[in-house]
């Protein structure tokens, strides 16, 4: 008699660079993983070549990973389901996944995308909770370029959940000798940091593209941190989160790293390219393009001054040119540092 196949320990929704890298790190930790991609052609390539030729070319994928284009199979995952679509695709991914989930088993859902829902300005974990209320939700974030994680270079991340025991359990299950997740009880803080760093990386890229120098980048990063600290207060975000892996850690990485899609998008803007032309040349997502407007609105609602976020938003929306925005930022009245 044929035996029923054992469901995978982890399901991953989204076969882009990060979903694939997370599958790889889980497989390296000895976990069984099923990776879902919505594009059947890519899934066929993944199955036949065991390489994500589109989003993570040149990296052989480990044996513990299987691939599917059927979301129903992901719902069987025993430990957790990682949600790794771009932020603006998460709503539809949840709506498609939800009917297959068993609310009585309530497998944890882990948001590994970095952004905010542009329809509601909600953090993604809140969106998932709204759409799939019976399941516990956690978030995974930190300074992690997909390619480095995929080849097994050392990296650290943070896993946050309101119930910190869940975050600790997931950290145990996901961690390995090359990938160290730290647990946190501040999912909102981790998500706001993850969205914010992408916007700041675009600002730093613009400065780089305009050849404004290293001093300007250091000033932008530091004043960006000041904006984040101001926003953190009314939102109730823990200070430790701001200087943790999802905050300072990811800002250090993304605002300097030529591997960053947000930073390089900023460079192209600074060099004078138009946003639609930059986006048309890219296959991969640059989340800061969507997060800037949402964060700007969140700042206004909270009564918090966020000049760098506002500047990036106005450039991306085509309301102002790069030169004007830079001149305006530099002409702001002098004030106390804090
Ligand atoms: N690439 C990285 O280094 C990295 C690291 C950490 C976090 N992240 C975050 O992970 C998320 C995904 O990024 P990525 O790098 O994997 O993106 P990517 O551009 O490499 O791939 C995105 C994938 O999502 C799929 N997709 C797009 N819309 C979808 C939808 N509506 N439903 C289902 N699938 C959809 C695409 O087909 C593609 O497979 C982003 O929020 C990003 O900020 C990326
Ligand atoms: O390429 P980016 O700019 O999306 O950055 C990737 C990761 O978020 C870095 O932590």
Residues 190-243: pLDDT tens digits?
999 999 999 999 999 999 999 999 999 999 999 999 999 999 999 999 999 999
The whole-model pTM stands at 0.97
Residue 293 Cα, ligand 1 centroid: separation in angstroms? 19
What ranges in the chain are assigned the alpha helix state H? 17-28, 40-49, 71-74, 90-97, 124-131, 146-150, 164-174, 187-209, 214-235, 239-242, 250-254, 261-270, 275-280, 288-302, 307-316, 322-330
Rounded Cα gap, residues 245 and 253, in angstroms: 10
Q: Which are the contacts of 101, defined by CB distance < 8 A and separation ≥ 6?
A: 75, 107, 132, 134, 135
Counting as low any pLDDT under 70, the low residues of the chain are 1-2
Q: How far is the CA of 250 from the centre of ligand 2 (A)?
A: 8
Asked whether residue 17 is marked as a ligand-binding residue, the answer is: yes
Ligand 1 mean position, distance from CA 16 (Å): 5
Q: Spell out the domains of the chain, with CATH numbers in brackets.
A: 10-185 (3.40.50.720), 189-330 (1.10.1040.10)
Pocket probe mutation, ligand 2, options 55, 247, 249, 254, max atoms within 8 Å of Cβ: 254
ipTM confidence? 0.98
Q: What is the pLDDT of residue 212?
A: 97
Nearest-atom index, ligand 1, CA of 194: 43
Q: Is 274 one of the annotated binding-site residues?
A: no
DSSP string for 271-317: TT--HHHHHHT-SS--THHHHHHHHHHHHHHHT---HHHHHHHHHHT
114 known ligand binder: yes
Label residues 79-109 b or e (16+ Cβ within 10 Å = b): bbbbbbbbbbbbbebbeebbeebeeeeebbb
Residues with CB under 6 A from ligand 2: 114, 143-145, 198, 201, 250, 253-254, 260-262, 287
Measured CA to CA, the distance from residue 266 to residue 289 in angstroms comes to 10
Q: For position 38, what pLDDT does the model report? A: 96
């Amino acid at each position: 008699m044929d035996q029923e196949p054992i469901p995978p320990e982890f399901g991953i929704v989204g076969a882009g660079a990060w979903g694939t890298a997370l599958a790889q790190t889980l497989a390296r930790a000895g976990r069984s993983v099923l990776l879902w991609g919505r594009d059947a052609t890519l899934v066929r390539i993944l199955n036949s070549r065991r390489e994500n030729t589109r989003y993570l070319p040149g990296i052989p994928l480990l044996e513990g990973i299987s691939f599917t284009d059927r979301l129903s199979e992901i719902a069987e995952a025993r430990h957790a389901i990682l949600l790794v679509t771009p932020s603006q695709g998460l709503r539809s991914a949840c709506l498609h996944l939800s009917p297959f989930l068993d609310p009585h088993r309530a497998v944890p859902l882990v948001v590994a995308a970095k952004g905010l829902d542009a329809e509601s300005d909600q953090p993604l974990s809140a969106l998932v909770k709204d759409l799939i209320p019976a399941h516990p939700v956690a978030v995974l974030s930190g300074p992690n370029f997909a390619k480095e994680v995929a080849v097994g270079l050392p990296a650290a991340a943070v896993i946050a959940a309101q119930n910190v025991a869940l975050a600790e359990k997931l950290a145990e299950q996901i961690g390995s000798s090359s990938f160290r997740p730290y647990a946190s009880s501040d999912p909102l803080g981790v998500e706001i940091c993850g969205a914010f760093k992408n916007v700041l990386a675009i600002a730093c890229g613009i400065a780089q593209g305009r050849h404004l120098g290293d001093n300007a980048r250091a000033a932008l990063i530091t004043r960006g941190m000041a904006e984040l600290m101001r926003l953190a207060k009314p939102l109730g975000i823990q200070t430790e989160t701001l200087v943790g892996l999802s905050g300072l850690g990811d800002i250090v990485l993304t605002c300097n790293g030529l591997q960053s899609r947000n930073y390089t998008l900023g460079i192209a803007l600074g060099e004078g390219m138009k946003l639609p032309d930059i986006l048309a040349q890219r296959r991969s997502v640059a989340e800061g393009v969507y997060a800037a407007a949402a964060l700007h609105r969140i700042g206004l609602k909270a009564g918090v001054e966020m000049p760098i976020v506002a500047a990036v938003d106005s450039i991306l929306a085509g309301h102002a040119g790069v030169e004007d925005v830079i001149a305006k930022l530099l002409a702001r009245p002098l004030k106390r540092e804090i």
